[in-house]
Amino acid sequence: MELLQEQLPIYQALLTATKSLAQGNLPDEILRVACDALVASSEHVCLAWMYLGNPDSETIRPSYAVGRALEYTRKLVIDLSPEAMKGPGRRSLITNEPVLVRTETDSTFAVWRENAVRHGLQEGLTLPIGDPKHSVRGLIVVFVDTPNYFEQIGMEPFIAFAQLATAALDQPSESFA
């Protein structure tokens, strides 16, 4: 299967981002490196965006985005409405768990569906970054143009990166606390 051949470049991208963790870069830089590396690793990764800030803020907007579907993020706002609170970004921050969303069928994604479909986004994986006890945390959101992509590639490397990022950022770094 073609997607299985993508595993190596995806894993290499996540290792590149992990190297950024080991170099002691600032949280913002680490998440940017991860977004850039993931988009560069596969033609199927059409968007990666990040948020770093207070997860309880009234609105969450991407602080950095990269990829051919970048336009999707221009008007993206995740507010505190009941619909947005059920969406993958808020849900991931609340539960501190990754959330996989299929854009065309997931009822919790209805608010953003039309824009996502227009930009060819089939699936998204939302990864929480940071300790839930801290007032500043982050998200990395990766969108692909292929159904069942994360099932075929495997979500484990993405989740492992998010866990490593959380552990590294929670070290003696006051900047993320």
Entry field: residues in the chain: 177
What's the confidence (pLDDT) of residue 3?
Answer: 62
CA-to-CA dists, residue 21 to 8, 33, 50, 130, 170, angstroms: 20, 10, 16, 13, 11
19: left (phi over 0), alpha (psi -120 to 50) or beta: alpha
Q: What is the mean pLDDT of the chain?
A: 88
Q: Residue 176 pLDDT > 70, yes or no?
A: no
pLDDT at 105 over 90: yes
pLDDT in tens, 4-42: 677 778 878 877 777 776 776 777 888 888 899 999 999
What are the φ/ψ torsions at residue 129 (nearest 5 degrees)?
-130, 130
Residue-wise pLDDT for 80-96, tens only, equals 999 999 999 999 999 99
What is the per-residue pLDDT for 165?
81
pTM for the model stands at: 0.88
Q: Which domains does the chain have, with CATH numbers?
A: 2-170 (3.30.450.40)
Give the model's confidence band at 122: pLDDT under 50 very low, under 70 low, under 90 confident, else very high.
Answer: very high
Maximum C-alpha span of the chain? 45
Q: Which of 85, 29, 82 is nearest to 60 (CA)?
A: 85
Q: What pLDDT does residue 175 have?
A: 44
